């Protein structure tokens, strides 16, 4: 069965909040009756910085060491522990967590992308978003000695596949490939 692709940007998609019960109390969603299906999510964010900071990160010239390697590991580790950080997330078995970087010299930014994949009853969007966030924070930590003015931002879901709600691809922003 082909799933319907939905493309959304900043508009609301539903007024029904699944994490609230009939009395308005917060709850963890019961996914026990949902089928196990293949699910994938891609998230992206960025760290803006001084041009010299970007060159130092990409060139491996930071005193703390290899920022990109540390940030990749931090993103992977964070994705695996998302359920411990986000109170209502289910613990799910991750099949794939990929974290990659794209230096953007024109905008003096480091683009970060994470891809997560599972066979489960619920999606992996939060795991991808947490991976990007942890990788960005690690970049900041690794380079803050030379640039405390760095800015982390733009963390967003770029695409998701699978599940009852169907596929999603953010308008005008196809995922760049993981290398």
Catalytic residues: 141
Distance (Å, whole) CA 131 – CA 135? 6
Rg, the chain, Cα only:
18
How is the beta sheet containing 167-169 ordered, strand by strand?
Answer: 5-6, 167-169, 151-161, 37-48, 109-120, 94-104
* Alpha-carbon gap, residue 44 to 70, rounded angstroms: 17
- What is the distance between the alpha carbons of residues 70 and 161, in angstroms, rounded to a whole number? 28
**DSSP-assigned states of every residue in 90-136:** PP--EEEEEEEEEEEGGGTEEEEEEEEEEEESS--HHHHHHHHHHHH
Distance CA 168, CA 136 (A): 24
Residues 6+ apart with CB under 8 A from 9: 170, 171
């Amino acid at each position: 069965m082909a799933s319907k692709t939905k493309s959304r940007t900043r508009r609301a998609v539903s007024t029904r909040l699944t994490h609230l019960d009939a009395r308005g109390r917060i709850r963890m969603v019961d996914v026990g009756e949902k089928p196990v299906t293949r699910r994938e999510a891609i998230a992206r964010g960025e760290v803006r910085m001084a041009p010299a900071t970007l060159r130092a990160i990409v060139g491996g010239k930071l005193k703390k060491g290899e920022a990109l390697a540390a940030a990749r590991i931090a993103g992977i580790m964070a994705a695996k522990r998302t359920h411990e950080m986000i109170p209502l997330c289910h613990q799910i078995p991750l099949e794939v967590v990929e974290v990659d970087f794209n230096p953007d010299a024109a905008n003096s930014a480091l683009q970060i992308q994470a891809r997560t994949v599972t066979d489960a009853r619920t999606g992996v969007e939060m795991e991808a978003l947490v991976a990007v966030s942890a990788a960005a924070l690690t970049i900041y930590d690794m380079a803050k000695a030379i640039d405390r003015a760095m800015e982390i931002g733009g963390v967003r879901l770029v695409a998701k596949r699978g599940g009852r709600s169907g596929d999603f691809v953010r308008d005008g922003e196809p995922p760049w490939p993981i290398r």
